[in-house]
């Protein structure tokens, strides 16, 4: 996936082709505006209100206790972002957006939009991070910090989109009984894997702040009989075992190369001889290939963990050094830039 702007007409396409318009300015200015427009639509309750039916500017402003002038300006901007539609003076949620922005939808991602306020604050430290090499370190909040709740719920909403596809591609050994989800937070991938494989139960090992929220998510879904949470640091806590499967989802980009190899070696000793290691990660292309949007994710990882988005070759190296062989690698269709690796002990 590449990040860019879409021309509305032939004149704009020609201007873009001839490099007549300042694309860096457009990325910075319009990207910023589109992001905050969608975030504000979520936080101010516009999407939830319009999910119930169409409304005029005045009706929506009165219902949400907003100024009519500001409501009109935001609705027009949301229309430009394809989030709402206008017909005969009334606004409604756009059909394509309803799947993602209606709070009643199973694919609702409003929590992730709201979490962007936290991520926006993190990105305000980018220049300092680049100058000093020091990250924000988003995993060192105290357990009762409210940012854990918005963080884990946002990740849960993303996991719901891809979990059915992902777990279908994870082959557990015959007679599997127990899997370990390292850094699994909400535990949703583990829960889906258990539901798909009868008799399997899972343990999620994560930091205390993450575990508190994850337990609530699993309990509210009525899945506590399948998934249990254990507080700990995956870099230092005893892993236990042996396990028939280990999930390492979106963890390795938070770690340095040396930390990844050390963790994978510990995972190998915690697995049964025929156990399955499933790794889900954003992978960036090799440097020789044309860039996509993946380096933006890599910069995000540098900012928040002082780590990186790794290439497929680097991941293969980490796994090989730890005594694993990769059996398969496949992109995840429901979430761009993510790849699922299946590996087993050599």
156 and 186 Cβ atoms separated by less than 8 Å:
yes
Three-state SS for the chain is CCCCCCCCCHHHHHHHHCCCCCHHHHHHHHHHHHHHHHHHHHHCCHHHHHHCCCECHHHHHHHHCCCHHHHHHHHHHHHHCCCEEEECCEEEECHHHHHHHCCCCCCCCHHHHHHHHHHHHHHCCHHHHHHHCCCCCCCCCCCCCCHHHHHHHHHHHHHHHHHHHHHHCCCCCCCCCEEEEECCCCCHHHHHHHHHCCCCEEEEEECHHHHHHHHHHHHHCCCCCCEEEEECCCCCCCCCCCEEEEEEECCHHHCCHHHHHHHHHHHHHHEEEEEEEEEEEEECCCCCCCCCCHHHHHHHHHHHHCCCCECHHHHHHHHHHCCEEEEEEEECCCCCCEEEEEEEEC
Spatial separation of the C-alpha atoms in residues 22 and 240, rounded to whole Å: 56
* φ, ψ of residue 129 in degrees (nearest 5): -65, -40
pLDDT of 1 over the 70 cut: no
pLDDT tens string 237-262: 999 989 999 999 999 988 999 999 99
Q: Given this model, what pLDDT does residue 304 score?
A: 83
pLDDT tens string 135-155: 887 777 889 998 899 999 999
Q: Given this model, what pLDDT does residue 139 score?
A: 78
Output the pTM of the full model. 0.85
Spatial separation of the C-alpha atoms in residues 17 and 37, rounded to whole Å: 28
User: Kind of pairing, strands 84-87 and 90-93?
Assistant: antiparallel
Name every residue whose Cβ is closer than 8 Å to that of residue 53 and which is 6 or more positions away in sequence. Answer: 92
Ranking 74-78, 137-141, 170-174, 316-320 by mean pLDDT, the lowest is 137-141
pLDDT of 77 over the 70 cut: yes
- Burial (Cβ within 10 Å: 0-12, 13-18, ≥19) of residue 67: exposed
- Mean pLDDT to the nearest integer, 178-189: 97
pLDDT tens string 80-98: 999 999 999 999 999 999 9
pLDDT of 221 over the 70 cut: yes
């Amino acid at each position: 996936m590449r990040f860019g702007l879409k021309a509305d007409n032939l004149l704009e396409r020609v201007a873009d082709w001839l490099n007549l318009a300042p694309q860096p300015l457009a990325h910075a200015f319009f990207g910023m505006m589109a992001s905050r427009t969608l975030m504000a639509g979520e936080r101010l309750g516009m999407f939830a209100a319009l999910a119930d039916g169409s409304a005029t500017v005045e009706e929506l402003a009165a219902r949400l206790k907003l100024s009519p002038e500001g409501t009109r300006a935001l609705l027009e901007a949301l229309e430009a972002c394809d989030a709402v539609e206008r017909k005969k003076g009334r606004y409604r949620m756009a059909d394509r957006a309803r799947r993602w922005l209606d709070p009643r939808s199973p694919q609702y991602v409003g929590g992730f939009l709201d979490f962007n306020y936290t991520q926006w604050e993190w990105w305000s430290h980018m220049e300092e991070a680049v100058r000093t090499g020091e990250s924000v370190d988003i995993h060192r909040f105290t357990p009762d910090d409210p940012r854990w709740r918005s963080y884990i719920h946002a990740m849960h909403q993303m996991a719901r989109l891809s979990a059915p596809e992902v777990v279908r591609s994870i082959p557990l050994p015959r007679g599997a009984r127990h899997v370990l989800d390292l850094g699994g937070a909400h535990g949703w991938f583990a829960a889906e894997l258990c539901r798909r494989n009868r008799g399997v139960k899972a343990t999620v090992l994560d930091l205390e702040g993450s575990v508190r929220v994850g337990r609530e998510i699993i309990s509210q879904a009525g899945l506590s009989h399948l998934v249990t949470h254990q507080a700990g640091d995956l870099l230092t806590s005893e892993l236990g075992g042996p396990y028939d499967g280990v999930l390492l989802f979106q963890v390795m980009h938070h770690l340095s190369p040396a930390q990844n190899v050390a963790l994978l070696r510990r995972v190998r000793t915690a697995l049964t001889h025929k156990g399955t290691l499933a790794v889900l990660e954003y992978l960036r292309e090799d440097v020789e290939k044309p860039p996509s949007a993946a380096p933006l994710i890599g910069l995000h990882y540098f900012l928040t963990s002082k780590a990186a988005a790794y290439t497929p070759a680097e991941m293969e190296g980490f796994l090989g050094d730890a005594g694993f062989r990769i059996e398969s690698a496949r992109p995840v269709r429901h979430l761009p830039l993510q790849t699922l690796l299946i590996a087993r002990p050599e």
